[in-house]
Amino acid sequence: MLKIYFICSFLIGTALAFNRFRPVKIALLSLFVTLQGIMTLHVIRNRGTGFWYFNADSLAVIFITILFFISALSIYHSFAYLKWRQKEARERNFYFAAMVILVAALTCAYCANHIAITWVFIEITTIAASFLIYYLRTDLALEGTWKYIFVCTISITFVFIGILLLGIAAGPAGITDLTYAQLTANASRLDPFWTKMAFIFIFTGFTAKAGLFPMYTAGIDAKDKSPSPAGALFASGIMNVGFCGIFRTYQFIALTSSAEWARSVLVISATISIFIAAVYMMKVDNYKRMLAYSSIEHMGIIMLGLAMGGIGVFAALFHLVLHSFIKAGIFYQTGITYRVFGSKLVSETGGYFRISVSGSMVLLLGFFCVTAVPPSGLFISEFLIFTEMFRSGYIWLMLAVMALLTVIIWAFGRKIMKVIFTPVNGFDYENAERPALSESLSQFAIILFIMIMGVCPPQPVLDIIHAAAGTLAR
């Protein structure tokens, strides 16, 4: 199935790049969404099946399901965006082709059960993503693209160095092929020194995609400069792929004697990430960048959960799932806000409530969901992670993180409230474009889903997250 999927999506991507007719383009895109849907159903039904170096385990199933929803919504919202930013037909075609290739590469990267295969597909995502960032063809977009490619290239090189060092570590353990299964089975026989070296390089490399401390800058510019629907994909699909790489590596590192050490690496990186997010969220004026920094904060919380172990791993995955949806939803809405006001700056935007009640409700409820106010499912996961931190004896760290989160909620709230309620001088509210309710429906569905997950989460979803979390043995 995966083989057929990859060949088909590659063909669709190529066809999209060269096709000139609008009906054909829509047909191809719907074909791709259908294909992605069939693929998702297939992996949900046959969890654990695979071929060659691909294996759809629980973690991959979770990520592929998220990706299906987000990619379908992103393609849908792209039409409105591209209509607003009229570019040449050729550039629009490249945009969709890049998006299709990106989604396909992400799917394969989630499924890969060999660390080198994960690496190859993550490399492909960088190239596809850079086309999306460069869509506007302005100087700033060029700068963002250049920085993204450069930072991602350096970090992908770091991952490669890490894989090579892992190869050295695996030599004496008699591992012939660096599949995750073999590494987990022989984890206790890995050479400790080289394992540590390998972990630090692999972790640093993957942080560019995951959005964590050392290499987080690339993702910020990418989410800011890319069109909002693509930004949604960056905030969910691409961050998940970085997390996927870190999670699968940590899975076997946690079985070695270097587990404690790796754990402290995660904690340090997570804490610094949350700190940086708090500082910049107070400072930035651009709301898309603010959302990007908020993603960094959430990834920090997720890493803390992962490092704590126990119920923390479950909570981290739960948090990741919900965050992928809600952050994508807010990104769609900011795309509409940007279109209405013609500015991404908080200081030049305001009084959105007078223009669109539905849109401002999305922003308001989305803000409550993202900052984990109780009906939101994120509250449960954050609560569980803090409980686990308390139980593991990280009380001071817990208090510090809580203080930082308070700062973040304050900064985030102040800016979102300004956008929604405070009118801005000199803006013509009478003749402003009034976005239709239909554009906000998808975001309402997402918010409803987040709240349902907070109040009475469905058992099958919990089961699969438990299954994925259970693979991280403690």
Residues that bind another protein in the complex, under the rule CB under 8 A: 116, 119-120, 123, 126-127, 139-140, 142-147, 149-150, 153-154, 156-157, 160-161, 163-164, 167-168, 171, 176, 178, 193-194, 221, 224-225, 280, 283-284, 286, 289
CB of 102 to another protein, least distance (A): 15
Q: Which is nearer to another protein, 140 or 395 (CB)?
A: 140
Closest approach, Cβ 207 to another protein, in A, equals 17
Count of CB atoms within 10 A of residue 114's CB? 19
CA angle 189, 193, 198 (to 5 degrees): 90
Closest distance between another protein and the C-beta of residue 121, in Å? 11
- Closest approach, Cβ 277 to another protein, in A, equals 11
Neighbours of 333 (CB within 10 A): 26
Kindly list the distances between the CA atom of residue 17 and the CA atoms of 27, 75, 134, 249, 388, in Å, as whole numbers in the listed order.
14, 15, 15, 35, 49
The nearer residue to another protein, 194 or 252, going by C-beta atoms, is: 194
With respect to another protein, which residue has the nearer C-beta, 31 or 136?
136
Q: What is the CA radius of gyration of the chain?
A: 21
The residues, any chain, with a CB within 8 Å of residue 122's CB and separated by 6 or more, are 105, 109, 156, 159, 206, 209, 241, 242, 245
Nearest distance, CB of residue 130 and another protein, angstroms:
8
Q: Which is nearer to another protein, 139 or 430 (CB)?
A: 139
- The minimum distance between CB 339 and another protein, in angstroms, equals 21
User: CB of 293 within 8 A of CB of 407?
Assistant: no
Minimum distance of another protein from residue 285's CB (angstroms):
9
Of 260, 268, 248, the closest CA to residue 57 belongs to: 248
Q: Tell me how far, at minimum, the Cβ of 124 lies from another protein, in Å.
A: 10
d(CA 129, CA 418): 32
> Which residue do the tokens 């769609």 mark?
332
Smaller CB distance to another protein: residue 49 or 153? Answer: 153
Question: How far apart are alpha carbons 254 and 268 in whole angstroms?
Answer: 17
Nearer to another protein, 152 or 320 (CB): 152
Closest listed residue to residue 256, CA positions, set 305, 195, 205 = 195
**Closest approach of Cβ 151 to another protein, in Å?**
11
Return the number of the residue (243 or 293) whose C-beta is nearest another protein.
Answer: 293
Q: How many CB atoms lie within 10 A of CB 133?
A: 28
Phi, psi (rounded to 5 degrees) for 49 = -85, 160
Taking the C-alpha atoms of residue 192 and residue 200, their distance in angstroms, rounded to an integer, is 12
CA distance linking residue 418 with residue 53, whole number of Å: 50
Task: Name the DSSP letter for residue 455.
Answer: H
- Of residues 34 and 157, the one with the C-beta less far from another protein: 157
For residues 28 and 208, which CB has a smaller minimum distance to another protein in the complex?
A: 208
